[in-house]
Amino acid sequence: MDVEAPKELLEPLQLPRRILTGPGPSNCSQRVLQALRQQVLGHMHPEVFQLMDEIKAGLRYAFQTANKFTLAISASGHAGMEASIGNVLERGENILIVKAGLWGERAADIAGRLGIHVDFLETEPGVAFTPDTLEEAIKKHRPKAVFVVHSESSTGLKQPLEGIGNVVHKYGGLLIVDTVASLGAEPFYADAWGIDVVYTGSQKVLGAPAGITPISFSPEAVKKIQSRRSPVPVYYWDMNLLGKYWNCFEGQGPRIYHHTVSATLVYGLREALAQLVEEGLAASWTRHASVTEKFHRGLLRRGYEFFVKEPSHRLRTVSAIMLPRDVEASRVIRYAMDRYNVEISGGLGPSAGKVIRIGLMGVNATPGHVDLVLRALDEAVKFAKCQLKSNL
Amino acid sequence: MDVEAPKELLEPLQLPRRILTGPGPSNCSQRVLQALRQQVLGHMHPEVFQLMDEIKAGLRYAFQTANKFTLAISASGHAGMEASIGNVLERGENILIVKAGLWGERAADIAGRLGIHVDFLETEPGVAFTPDTLEEAIKKHRPKAVFVVHSESSTGLKQPLEGIGNVVHKYGGLLIVDTVASLGAEPFYADAWGIDVVYTGSQKVLGAPAGITPISFSPEAVKKIQSRRSPVPVYYWDMNLLGKYWNCFEGQGPRIYHHTVSATLVYGLREALAQLVEEGLAASWTRHASVTEKFHRGLLRRGYEFFVKEPSHRLRTVSAIMLPRDVEASRVIRYAMDRYNVEISGGLGPSAGKVIRIGLMGVNATPGHVDLVLRALDEAVKFAKCQLKSNL
């Protein structure tokens, strides 16, 4: 052998227990984990097709849509962003991106690579835009599509979406919405709100492992994709092909092989959606709301300020709060992890260095987790202050 | 709710046992499956970084390369193909693709979407090309890169690779090699053979689940990527960014968040590589060779013909054989699955309708599996012939 066997792989796999209360991934339920250990199946086996159909049904419920074109991409959430933009738009077309945090910037990066012209509606980080300001920007730029993040996990902002679809459609555009950090926790109605493309993360509220990304396209979006003059630049998420594998086209005949779906991740997502169905979507929304209300009450009682000033625009999944000016975030984060195995995250994008972020999603959205996180936070801040004093 | 909860998700998950002896995926070992059920961790946790480092070391061993730029993409094997071509080539550049089966065609489709000019070296399906014919084609087309499939699983062809790198480099090109269906079973030396980009499938010989794709870039390939005039068109597999997440650049500083890697798939691939290290690469090559020799002897004794005429060019992973003309493949396939839970596949691309394909890879590369597959095949063919007679 030219290259010798690496000795580190002779050590057994050892993993710590972590309570994932950052902005995601969140923990998986025992039921989901149990599904992941099942032996794999082939990507063209009828049993896998049935699970894919069940996933489609579960996702239509989660997205609240009748879209036949609802499926999951075999990649992480960023691929949902890239597939949305790359399918409905072509080189030379234009998109209006609402830039309220990191994810809008990322969407612009992705669109730019594909030769799509980007205009921005820039908002102050942590502040929602109104349908009126959007309409002004649309009138000015006349975009083929508008990209909006429902749950800006970098700042904890929830963007209200009612009425946005009408504004976008009035000028002939398509509305793309990122619900990576909200779907299943925040009320969301893809059809009633006139959303043309929506995707979410498997590893946040839904509680499946990362690596498989739910996405849904309205009939208008599908029409746009089917009338493209150029091929979708990426085979891996070309919906013309992927849709045939996921059986999304009316009367399409047998499914056609496109890629090897990961049976493991299909099992996990199927079970996560089954748990959502068992709990009920409305019940899940309510649970996340009441848990976050308890959490935010606890934070306010302690004098914390939120990055998002308007209370009704604070996400019930990821909260971004300011630490006292003399407390170093990195110390707090390390202490909570070392002593409590509790994940607290720092800021990201516009909130980097300014906040800590805490997520209570899926199986971690319980009153017990609120108590645990607050206890860990209290102690960690106390510790960080002590350290500060002892350093003086 | 506008869309009601789908009742099919209230049924428990029920999965059949299947012996995956088609062209892939192959079964996972119990050790890998056990790893998949471990609770997920965050994509920026130090424990996950350590596993990613171990995966890199394991992959350098499996690829037989010293490439620092060795990592895994969070997507299926097709993404390896797309990331290879999309990173080292730019719009307007040209690639020479050896089209010996389905995978060469797929590579051309992928390159074309990116605005890369494609020339072909077409070979008769099931027949390897020689360095001389390649050199002629290179002289004619002067490609920036040459794409070759080591293991053409659609026909069962193994393309000899020694000497190919020299030919490609002589004219200043880069050599991209697809080892999806061979790595870990067929002798392969990325560095000694002068291969610039190589990727493989996790779900074949390695025996990890699908959805995470090992890939490696030579220093020359990295140089080409870093000197691009245009950005890599796809954020998700832009190696300039992904490399910073996987810590592939010399002295790069801390890792930078790129996407949420699936901890589940990281666990699975890590354990699969650990098993390869424990067995030893040479031992794995030998095991696959001897098992396939036994299998092929059994097939020849029964009078079967191979799609690949040259014995030394037959893969020791996937075998494509012709059925007697009066035997319908679909009946054989169905019988083997129904009675034995044994997967036999039909042809694909140039072999569609002409062959059945059987794969003995990873944990399924054992003498016992040879016996089982031959027994299932014997019975299935007998059954198909009887059905034929009773239909007359």
Tell me the C-alpha distance between A45 and B32, whole Å. Answer: 21
Q: Are B86 and B98 a contacting pair, CB within 8 Å?
A: no
Q: Which residues of B fall within a CB distance of 8 Å from A66?
A: 3
**Window B:342-381, CB contacts with A under 8 Å:** 343, 348
Do B24 and B359 meet the contact criterion of CB atoms below 8 Å apart? Answer: yes
Does the pLDDT value for residue A383 go beyond 70?
A: yes
CA distances (Å), B366 to each of B21, B362, B363, in order?
A: 11, 9, 7
Instruction: Centre a 10 Å sphere on the Cβ of residue B82 and count the other Cβ atoms it contains.
Output: 30
Chain B residues within 8 A of A41 when measuring between CB atoms: 15-16, 18, 20, 25
Q: Does the CB of B94 have a partner CB in chain A at under 8 Å?
A: no
Beta strands at B345-346 and A318-322: parallel, antiparallel or unpaired: unpaired
Q: Which residue of chain B comes nearest to A201, CA vs CA? A: B260
Residues 6+ apart with CB under 8 A from B361: B24, B26, B181, B185, B204, B205, B207, B288, B317, B318
- Coil, helix or strand at residue B38: coil
CB contact burial B139-171 (16+ within 10 A = b; e otherwise): eebebbbbbbbbbbbbbbbbbebeebbebbeee
Q: With 80 as the cut, is the pLDDT of residue A108 above it?
A: yes
For chain A, where are the alpha helices, taking DSSP H only?
A: 30-36, 46-63, 77-88, 102-113, 131-141, 164-170, 219-226, 239-245, 263-279, 281-301, 329-340, 367-391
Separation CA B157–CA B348 (nearest Å): 13
Task: Dig out the tokens for B234 from the structure.
Answer: 């796809």
Separation of alpha carbons B238 and A110, rounded Å:
11
Q: Can you list the pairs that A136-139 forms with residues at least 24 positions away whose Cβ atoms lie under 8 Å?
A: A137/A96, A138/A96, A138/A167, A138/A168, A138/A171, A138/A173, A139/A171
How far apart CA B182 and CA B191 sit, in angstroms, is 17
Q: Do residue A39 and residue B54 have CB atoms under 8 angstroms apart?
A: no
Q: Are A182 and A315 in contact (CB under 8 A)?
A: yes
Contacts of B27 in chain A (CB under 8 A): 39-40
For residues A308 and A306, what is the distance between their CA atoms, to the nearest angstrom? 5
B77 and A264 in contact by Cβ < 8 A? no
* Min distance B351 CA to chain A CA atoms (Å): 15
> Looking up tokens 């597959």, which residue turns up?
B373
Provide the CB-side half-sphere exposure for A78 (13 A, CA).
Answer: 22
- Residue B374: what pLDDT? 98
- Chain A: give the shortest CA distance to residue B232, in Å: 7
Q: Which of residues 214-243 of B touch A (CB under 8 A)?
A: 231-236, 238
- Residue A388 pLDDT > 80: no
Contact across the interface for B274 and A42, Cβ inside 8 Å: no
What phi, psi does A300 have (nearest 5°)?
-65, -40
The reply to whether residue B43 touches residue A58, judged by beta carbons under 8 angstroms, is: no
Closest CA to B28 of B273, B281, B356: B273
Do B167 and B141 form a contact (C-beta atoms < 8 A)?
no
Which among A6, A267, A280 has the least Cβ separation from residue B61?
Answer: A6
pLDDT of residue A342: 98
Q: Would you mind telling me the total number of residues written for chain B in this entry? A: 392
Comparing A69 with A354, the larger pLDDT belongs to: A69
Cα B37 vs. chain centroid, distance in angstroms? 25
Which residues have a Cβ under 8 Å from the Cβ of A129 and sit 6 or more positions away? A98, A100, A121, A123, A159
**A24 CB within 8 Å of a chain B CB:** yes
Q: Which residues pair with B70 in a beta bridge?
A: B216
Assign A215 to helix, strand or coil.
Answer: strand
**Whether A2 contacts chain B with CB within 8 A:** yes
Would you state the pLDDT for residue B325?
A: 87
Q: Is B66 on the interface with A (CB under 8 A)?
A: yes
Tokens representing residue B28 in the block: 């996972």
Share of chain B above pLDDT 90, in %: 93
Is residue B212 within 8 Å of B268, Cβ to Cβ?
A: yes
Query: Could A76 and B76 be called an inter-chain contact, meaning their C-beta atoms sit closer than 8 Å?
Result: no
Rg of chain A in Å (alpha carbons): 22
Spell out which residues of chain B touch residue A118, defining contact as CB-CB under 8 Å: none
Distance from CA of A311 to the nearest CA of B (A): 25
Task: Quote the DSSP letter at residue A205.
Answer: S
Distance (Å, whole) CA A96 – CA A119: 5
Element housing B389 (H / E): helix B367-391
CB-CB under 8 Å, A270 with B13: yes
Q: Is A43 on the interface with B (CB under 8 A)?
A: yes
> What is the Cα A322 distance to its own chain's centre?
23
Determine the distance from the C-alpha atom of residue A15 to the mean position of all C-alpha atoms in its chain, rounded to a whole number. Answer: 25
Q: Is A10 left (phi over 0), alpha (psi -120 to 50) or beta?
A: alpha
What are the tens digits of pLDDT across the range A48-74?
999 999 999 999 999 999 999 999 999
Residue with tokens 């191979």: B306
The whole-angstrom distance between B14's CA and the closest CA on chain A is: 9
Full DSSP string of B173-218: -EEEEE-TTTBTTB---TTTTT-SEEE--TTTTS-PPSS-EEEEE-
Tokens of B5: 């909860």
Structure-block tokens of residue B68 = 């620092």
For A343-369, the DSSP string reads: --EE--GGGTTTEEEEE--GGG-SHHH
**CB B52: neighbour CB atoms within 10 A?**
21
Task: Give the pLDDT confidence of A295-349 residue by residue, as tens digits.
Answer: 999 999 999 999 999 999 999 999 999 999 889 999 999 999 999 999 999 998 8
Does residue A322 sit at the B interface (CB-CB below 8 Å)?
no
Compare CB distances from B78 to A13, A236, A281 and report the shortest one's residue. Answer: A236
The chain-wide mean pLDDT, for chain A, equals 96
Report which of residues A307 and A389 the model is more confident about.
A307
Q: Is the pLDDT of residue A281 over 80?
A: yes
Compute the distance between CA of residue A86 and CA of residue A81 in angstroms, rounded to an integer.
8
CB contact under 8 A, B270 and A2: no
How many interchain CB pairs under 8 A, A with B?
Answer: 287
Mutate to test the interface with A, among B204, B235, B281 (most CBs of A within 10 A): B235
Cβ-contact B260, A208 below 8 angstroms: no
Q: Is A357 annotated as a binding residue?
A: yes
Per-residue confidence (pLDDT) for residue B389, from 0 to 100: 74
Residue B19 reports pLDDT greater than 70:
yes
Omega cis (within 30) before A25? yes
Interchain CB distance below 8 Å, B38 and A13: yes
Confidence of residue B353 (pLDDT cuts 50, 70, 90): confident
Residue A325: its pLDDT value, please?
87
User: Best mutation site among B1, B2, B3 for testing chain A: the one with the most A CBs within 10 Å?
Assistant: B3
Tell me phi and psi for residue B263, to 5 degrees: -55, -40
Minimum Cα–Cα distance from B207: chain A residue: A40
pLDDT at A390 over 80: no
Residue B235 is nearest to which of A16, A41, A113, comparing CB atoms?
A: A113
Phi, psi of A82 (to 5 degrees): -70, -40
Residues A129 and A152: their CA atoms lie apart, in Å, by 13
Quick check: A206 contacting B, CB < 8 Å? Answer: no
Among candidate residues A69, A135, A301, A110, the one with its CA nearest the CA of residue B237: A110
**Per-residue pLDDT reduced to its tens digit, B143-190:** 999 999 999 999 999 999 999 999 999 999 999 999 999 999 999 999
ipTM score: 0.97
Q: What pLDDT is recorded for position A392?
A: 61
User: Which residues in chain B touch residue A241, judged by CB atoms under 8 angstroms apart?
Assistant: none
Q: Which single residue is written with the structure tokens 């090109």? A: B173
The model's confidence at residue A151, banded by pLDDT at 50, 70 and 90, is very high
Res B388 pLDDT > 80: no
Structure tokens at B346: 């039909």
Strands A345-346 vs B69-73: parallel, antiparallel or unpaired: unpaired
Q: Within 10 Å of residue B363's Cβ, how many Cβ atoms?
A: 18
H or E element in which residue B331 lies = helix B329-340
Which amino acid type is present at position A136?
A: E
Q: With residue A322 as reference, give the H or E element that holds it.
A: strand A318-322
| Contact between chains at A274 and B5 (C-beta distance less than 8 A) | no
**Confidence band of B392 (pLDDT split at 50, 70, 90):** low
Ordered by where they begin, the domains of chain B are 30-277 (3.40.640.10), 280-391 (3.90.1150.10)
- Pairwise CB contact (< 8 Å): B38 & A33: yes
List all residues 6 or more positions away from A303 whose beta carbon is below 8 Å from its beta carbon.
none
Tell me whether residues B231 and A113 touch, CB distance under 8 A.
Answer: yes
Is it true that the peptide bond before B25 is cis, omega within 30 degrees of 0?
yes
Distance separating alpha carbons of residues B356 and B347, to the nearest angstrom: 6
- What pLDDT, on a 0 to 100 scale, did the predictor assign at position A119? 98
Q: Which of B31, B36, B259 to mutate to test the interface with A (most CBs of A within 10 A)?
A: B36
Mean pLDDT calculated for residue range A92-110 = 94
Closest partner residue to B264 among A60, A64, A264, by Cβ?
Answer: A264
C-alpha Rg value of chain B to the nearest Å: 22
Res B390 pLDDT > 80: no
Helical segments of A122-245, H only: 131-141, 164-170, 219-226, 239-245
CB within 8 Å of chain B, chain A residues 122-161: none
Q: Which residue of A has its CA nearest to B262?
A: A210
Residues of chain A contacting residue B263, judged by C-beta atoms under 8 Å apart: 25, 209-210
Task: Quick: pLDDT tens for A211-268.
Answer: 999 999 999 999 999 999 999 999 999 999 999 999 999 898 999 999 999 999 999 9
Which candidate from B2, B33, B277 shows the least CB-CB separation from A10? B277
Is A178 within 8 Å of chain B by CB? Answer: no
**Does the pLDDT at position A378 exceed 90?**
yes
Does the distance separating the beta carbons of A264 and B6 come in below 8 Å?
A: no
At residue A304, φ and ψ (nearest 5 deg) are: -75, 150
Determine the Cα–Cα distance for residues B109 and B90; give it in Å rounded to an integer.
15
Of B4, B42, B114, Cβ closest to residue A20:
B42
Say which residues have a Cβ less than 8 Å from residue B63's Cβ, sequence separation at least 6: B70, B183, B188, B190, B198, B200, B214, B216
pLDDT value at position A282? 98
